[in-house]
Structure 1
């Protein structure tokens, strides 16, 4: 099972404050443990929302909304994508993570990623083949 672990943003991350050397070192060691265990698929920090945009869909209409975005508690500052056997295992890994924001309360959200079999018969054999082809193409680029 794959899980997306999202690090919730805060005022510091939205202000563009960079982590300390100590936190970068701790995160590097933690990520190394995830890699050694064969769990880590991807991990990245995200720039502040002022450097981003949203696209709002309303029928056929598209509206671009430039950052920054007001509701910091709804924003994501970074993520891990991990592959483990269960939600419990994902939780155990995240309990071992360094606090993403030194000295203050922070939060990560753990959400399971949909797999092809979750979509049932609506995910046709043609769509499955296309998905597999695209994943193979992406994998060949790395």
Structure 2
């Protein structure tokens, strides 16, 4: 089972990328990341820039509304993530518990929904949709298309 683990900063985690990191903390976190990799459970990981460097798109009445830059309520924003593949939630929590997070930080663990978790009718609908795009996917492998581009 795959699980997403988010490192959640407490208040004040909205500076420039890399601010607030010290060499010792980074080295300790690198050791943790290396342990995940050596155990064969690490699928992916990345640090995230602060919310002030991103945007949020809200949907009101089915229409998108863009909210740029610094937003209120940034307390508890994700600072990074790990995707791990382990046998159970208990194992994911055990790995999260080993993280060398700083005081005031948290790790949120959430299982990634797999195809097999979906209802049979949803699986069938997705399979029909995939059949129609199979040729496109093989031709366009690894190409990214901006929203609205043709």
Q: Which runs of 4+ in 1 moved over 3 A?
A: 127-131
List alignment gaps of at least 5 residues for structure 2.
143-150
Q: TM-score, normalised to structure 1's length?
A: 0.82
**Match in the other structure for 1:52:** 54
Query: How far is 1:128 from its partner?
Result: 5.5
Q: RMSD in angstroms over aligned alpha carbons?
A: 2.1
Deviates most, 61-70 or 3-12: 3-12
Q: How does 1:1-142 map to 2 (within 5 A)?
A: 1-16=1-16, 17-99=19-101, 101=102, 104-121=103-120, 122-124=122-124, 125-127=127-129, 137=141
Please say which structure displays the higher CA radius of gyration.
2
Q: TM-score, normalised to structure 2's length?
A: 0.78
List alignment gaps of at least 5 residues for structure 1.
none
Q: How many residues align?
A: 132
Deviates most, 72-81 or 30-39: 72-81
Query: How far is 1:18 from its partner?
Result: 3.4
